[in-house]
Structure 1
Amino acid sequence: MIEAANRLNTVEEYYFSKKLREVNQLIASGKPVINLGIGSPDMQPPQKVIDALNTGFSSPSAHKYQSYQGLPELREAMAAFYKEHFSVSLSPSSEILPLMGSKEGIMHISMAYLNEGDEVLIPNPGYPTYESVTRLVGAKPVFYELDAANNWQPDFKALEKLNLNKVKIMWVNYPHMPTGAQPSKYLFEELVAFGKKHNILIVNDNPYSFVLNDNPKSILATKGAKDVCLELNSLSKTFNMAGWRVGMVVGDSVHINNILKVKSNMDSGMFYGIQKGAVEALKCSKMWFVTLNNVYKQRRDFVWKLADALNCTYDKNATGLFVWAKLPPNVKSEAFIDTILKNSHIFITPGTIFGSKGEGYIRFSLCASTEVLEEAAARVK
């Protein structure tokens, strides 16, 4: 057998890729599994978005290769969206790069900036892809711990005690996934100052700003942020377009050009109709967010009841697409969710997949109807 590359020894298959096979096998065997594990929106995008996609099929340009930088009107819509919702001014021609989902951007940014042996600051708990991509490019993860006592914010005093000489990138993610924590009043200012002091590229992964959150923020609204910061964003959660794979990275033109050097060698542009649909999504009025969040509020109430039934505690001020819940003392996350899956046929995400600081926690997705959530609560009473 031909041996796989050594880099595969540093990572494992993505947790949900493995676990969902188990869940699907249970479903195939007749078990009525309720999946509250993954954050895949189950509602429809705005109708005008679907209409734009359908119309796009008949365009003479639809089936050709598209620009590596996306349609000009898509970049203009992204710039207008950032101006309206975040009060951030961006040049559509040089400070925005559309992506096939923000997850793609994590790899592109890492390939554009990391050499073998460079170090990367990664939140614990945090999105697992930050670590896996760091390892795949031969860099070294350096975890900084977040905890509930500090509202899941970085401890800058602890960070300053680290040897930061080899750190090139710091991943941050606010509103935070998996905990739903909002950035504190001065967090982004502190991050910009930290990045400038140590010559570290700060990347804020920001796909959850509009879910159960009345105060969306961008790190790029902070004075001087473009010097040392990039931001990833996505249409997946905001507009129920996860399967469309539309996101963006925004920031200074030098950074964007560096990322484009990677991206343009990895794909040949986004399908025309998807871009046209994305343009319409970005033009949605604030009533879209009000309607979306009214549904999620109802669902969250049911998830809170489910968490109560499981003797968990949670923060009612948290935002985002999930409920992060603390288990009773001395209960292990993975053992707990395996028991619930076996006995009640409900799949919940264990906090440990987000890092060691996730032990003792579980995460519920709000991507299920109130009827399904009510059934889940009934199963564990």
Structure 2
Amino acid sequence: MIPKAERLHSVEEYYFSKKLREVATLEKEGKPIINMAIGSPDLQPPQKVIQALEATSKLENAHSYQSYQGIPALRLAMCDFYDKNYKVSLNENEVMPLMGSKEGVMMISLAFLNVGDEVLIPDPGYPTYTSVTKLVGAKPVFYNLNAKNNWLPDFEELENQNLEKVKIMWVNYPHMPTGTKGTADAFQKIVSFAKKHQILVVNDNPYSFILNENPLSILATDGAKEVALELNSLSKSFNMAGWRVGLVVGSEKYIKAILQVKSNMDSGMFLGIQKGAIAALKTSNEWLANLNAIYEKRRKIVWEIMEVLNCTYSKNSSGLFVWGKLPNGINEIDLTDKLLSNNNIFIAPGSIFGTNGKGYIRASLCVPVVKLKEALQRLITV
């Protein structure tokens, strides 16, 4: 076999990629697995989104290459969406559609990081920040998030670190996996910190409309465009995870740098998907309210599951997950493996998101009420 690239020695296959193969094997054996680990929306997108895709697919020009930057109508819809929901004014050159925000993590890293640069990554946080940083030859530097500080950055601790080589700082509010909401004060401190140390801060913001009455963007912070980018996604808010539609917004100079990478990586997004995305972005807030009503019902059952497992949790969190603290002495890996083996329930161990996730578990709301009630019953009757 031809040897694989050395860069692959620094990263492992994504946890869920491996674990889902195990779950699939159990299902083939007839095990009735209830998957509460993955944040993959199980509900339908708005009907107008599907109609737009269907109608566009019949157009003569629908199946040709599209613009690397997305059609102007999509970029305009994204600008309008930010103005309406976040009170952030953008022009068409300050927004770029992505094939999912996960693509954006790679594009931004390739656009701004050199080999040996350092990257501030939250612990706990989205594992992709770490793996992509390693893949491009940069060095992850983890900063602590914990319950004592309400899962927000501790700037006193950060200021005591050597930040000379730090080029990018990843933040993610509402936070995954804990569900902690962002605040205007926290974003102001993050922007001030980034300006002081000449760091590009990137807020990953796909959960801001899920069980959250006050959606915020870091770009609403005074002076943020000088040092900040924001990733967003239609996956969670509009149940379009498989469509792979995301966006990055920020200063035109930063967007141009990302385009230098992106234009060499793909040949534009299918027109039908772009038209569907426009329909989603124009959807009324009533649709989101109805979606959140469903998640609210589900979350109450997940809270009950957490209580049966003797976990403590916050009722003030947002997003698609419930983050539960296990009793002292309980190992999260052992517990989740036991739940899968004995109860056919798949829940994510918190330690896959970082060392500060030890002693925690994460349960998804992307499960129908009937299945959540069944999971609860399995735990009660054992």
1:218-274, CA deviations, whole angstroms, 9 ceiling, x for partnerless residues?
A: 000000000000000000000000000000000000000000000110000000000
Specify the alignment match of 1:379 in structure 2: 378
Distance in 2 between residues matched to 1:264 and 1:279, nearest whole Å: 22
Specify the alignment match of 1:168 in structure 2: 167
SS in structure 1 at match of 2:206: coil
Specify the alignment match of 1:258 in structure 2: 257
2:368 is the alignment partner of 1:369: yes
Gapped regions of structure 2 (runs ≥ 5): none
1:85-129, CA deviations, whole angstroms, 9 ceiling, x for partnerless residues?
A: 00000001x100100000000000000000000000000000000
**1:46-195 to 2 correspondences below 5 Å:** 46-92=46-92, 94-195=93-194
Quick one: which amino acid aligns to residue 221 of structure 2?
Answer: T
Distance in 2 between residues matched to 1:223 and 1:54, nearest whole Å: 41
SS in structure 2 at match of 1:379: helix
SS in structure 1 at match of 2:347: strand
1:54-91, CA deviations, whole angstroms, 9 ceiling, x for partnerless residues?
A: 00101111100000000100000000000000000000
Distance in 2 between residues matched to 1:61 and 1:336, nearest whole Å: 53
Are the equivalent residues in 1 in contact too, given 2:324–2:360 (CA < 8 A)? yes
Distance in 2 between residues matched to 1:117 and 1:16, nearest whole Å: 28
Distance in 2 between residues matched to 1:363 and 1:25, nearest whole Å: 22
Distance in 2 between residues matched to 1:33 and 1:286, nearest whole Å: 34
Specify the alignment match of 2:298 in structure 1: 299
How many Å apart are 1:135 and its aligned residue? 0.2
Specify the alignment match of 2:308 in structure 1: 309
Specify the alignment match of 2:210 in structure 1: 211
2:329 is the alignment partner of 1:330: yes
> Which piece of structure 1 moves more, 296-305 or 184-193?
184-193
Quick one: which amino acid aligns to residue 286 of structure 2?
Answer: M
Specify the alignment match of 1:235 in structure 2: 234
How many Å apart are 1:49 and its aligned residue? 0.3
SS in structure 2 at match of 1:313: coil
Are the equivalent residues in 1 in contact too, given 2:101–2:247 (CA < 8 A)? yes
Are the equivalent residues in 1 in contact too, given 2:42–2:366 (CA < 8 A)? yes
Specify the alignment match of 2:2 in structure 1: 2
May I ask how many residue pairs the two structures share in their alignment? Answer: 380
How many Å apart are 1:185 and its aligned residue? 4.0
Quick one: which amino acid aligns to residue 24 of structure 1?
Answer: A
Quick one: which amino acid aligns to residue 71 of structure 1?
Answer: I
Distance in 2 between residues matched to 1:348 and 1:225, nearest whole Å: 37
Specify the alignment match of 2:245 in structure 1: 246
Are the equivalent residues in 1 in contact too, given 2:183–2:216 (CA < 8 A)? no
1:161-191, CA deviations, whole angstroms, 9 ceiling, x for partnerless residues?
A: 0100000000000000000001234111111
Distance in 2 between residues matched to 1:110 and 1:184, nearest whole Å: 26
SS in structure 2 at match of 1:314: coil
Runs in 1 of length 4+ with deviation above 6 angstroms? none
Distance in 2 between residues matched to 1:332 and 1:90, nearest whole Å: 46
Quick one: which amino acid aligns to residue 313 of structure 1?
Answer: T
SS in structure 2 at match of 1:123: strand
Quick one: which amino acid aligns to residue 43 of structure 1?
Answer: L
Quick one: which amino acid aligns to residue 41 of structure 2?
Answer: P
Distance in 2 between residues matched to 1:122 and 1:68, nearest whole Å: 29
SS in structure 2 at match of 1:3: coil
Quick one: which amino acid aligns to residue 12 of structure 2?
Answer: E
Quick one: which amino acid aligns to residue 296 of structure 1?
Answer: Y
Are the equivalent residues in 1 in contact too, given 2:184–2:221 (CA < 8 A)? no
Specify the alignment match of 2:41 in structure 1: 41
SS in structure 2 at match of 1:43: coil
Quick one: which amino acid aligns to residue 77 of structure 1?
Answer: A
Quick one: which amino acid aligns to residue 263 of structure 1?
Answer: K
Quick one: which amino acid aligns to residue 82 of structure 2?
Answer: Y
Quick one: which amino acid aligns to residue 85 of structure 2?
Answer: H
Quick one: which amino acid aligns to residue 188 of structure 1?
Answer: F
2:10 is the alignment partner of 1:17: no
Alpha-carbon RMSD across the aligned residues, in angstroms, is 0.5
1:282-305, CA deviations, whole angstroms, 9 ceiling, x for partnerless residues?
A: 001110111000000000001011
2:339 is the alignment partner of 1:349: no
Distance in 1 between residues matched to 2:16 and 2:56, nearest whole Å: 33
With the length of structure 1 as denominator, give the TM-score of the two structures. 0.99
Gapped regions of structure 1 (runs ≥ 5): none
SS in structure 2 at match of 1:64: coil
With the length of structure 2 as denominator, give the TM-score of the two structures. 0.99
